Amino acid sequence: MSELDLKPALEAVLMVVDEPATEAHLAKVLDRTPREVADALRELADEYTAQGRGFELRVVAGGWRFYTRAAYAPAVEAFVLDGQQARLTQAALETLAVVAYRQPVSRSRVSAVRGVNCDGVMRTLLQRGLVEEAGAEPETGAILYRTTNYFLERMGLRGLDELPELAPFLPEAEAVEPDSLEGVPSFDPDEDETDETTED
């Protein structure tokens, strides 16, 4: 494999990946050193930016993948959606935010923070691969949930440490309890979901 030109080989592989590819994995399949792969990937990313291409190469969730450049997202959205709504409901966004900032967290804890039953919304988030089970709470045996790598990928984050700080989004005029997540930034992974009406 080493006889192939590295940059075109990386482009070819990254065109077909289903999830971000790590430098170590790319180096293994292309029979190159991780350093060679890392340097080539960064050069490709810089080239695409310099050329003003409609896509970019980014590190997300621990690996590299092609993404639409933000400036051209409206064109892609118009093509993919074609007038259809493909956003999470407000209830799902709020639930996802609670899980993201409080993980690992139980359903009952999420419901307590939101003030409504979140079972239906949690099922939706699980089905869409945005959250997953993360063991059980020792004291109660309740199932705990956390966000997935797919969540990081859809949000364009390298890791959870890149989640925005909550303070700028919290109300200034009133004190907010530490466990409250009112005013958290809205997440929009562009996923289709019908409005949840089963919450109490």
Residues 6+ apart with CB under 8 A from 123: none
| CATH code of the region 85-200 | 1.10.10.10
Question: How far lies 111's CA from each of 116, 150, 157, in Å?
Answer: 5, 23, 26
Return the domain boundaries, the chain.
Answer: 6-79, 85-200
CA distance 45 to 55: 10
Q: What is the pLDDT of residue 99?
A: 94
Which tokens go with 69? 């450049």
Whole-angstrom Cα distance, residue 175 to residue 10?
51
Cis-peptide, bond into residue 104, ω within 30° of zero: yes
pLDDT at 20: 92
Tell me: pLDDT of 80 over 70: no
Residue 169 banded pLDDT, cuts 50, 70, 90? low
* Other beta carbons less than 10 A from residue 111's beta carbon: 19
pTM of the model: 0.50
CATH class of segment(s) 6-79: mainly alpha
- pLDDT at 85 exceeding the cut of 60: no
Q: Is the model more confident about 119 or about 42?
A: 42
Domains 6-79 and 85-200 share a fold: yes
pLDDT at site 185: 43
pLDDT for position 13: 95
Cα separation, 20 vs 159, in Å, equals 13
CB 101 within 8 A of CB 184: yes
Strand partners, 105: 145
